[in-house]
Amino acid sequence: MFYNALWAAFPDSHLEFDDIVVQGDKVAARFTFSGTQKGELMGIPPTDRKVSVQGMRFFKFKGTKCTETWNLVDMLSMMQQLEVIKT
């Protein structure tokens, strides 16, 4: 649900993988998310502001099945770029 809301809020969104590292049964991906907020996101009305946010996602696999994931995104930076939080 979160990702559907994210894509709806940032219809021009772009996800670029900066690094992907595989070690044993784990995969780590560092990425940059960018886009322009054209729709509501988590109660924040459209701001028409562009954002560029760094994040990381980690996956653990058992065979070919992903069994665990962890996600870290710099939401503080996004809120600052949307001017929801003043710096």
49-69 pLDDT, tens per residue? 999 999 999 999 999 999 999
DSSP string, 52-85: EEEEEEEEEEETTEEEEEEEEE-HHHHHHHTTSS
Domain contains 86: no
Give the global pTM. Answer: 0.86
Structural domain count, the chain: 1
Q: How confident is the model at residue 87 (pLDDT cuts 50, 70, 90)?
A: confident
**Under a CB-based contact definition with an 8 Å cutoff, are residues 34 and 51 in contact?**
yes
Domain, as residue range, for 43 = 2-81
Domain contains 28: yes
Domain contains 87: no
Token couple for 56: 């990381």
Domain contains 6: yes
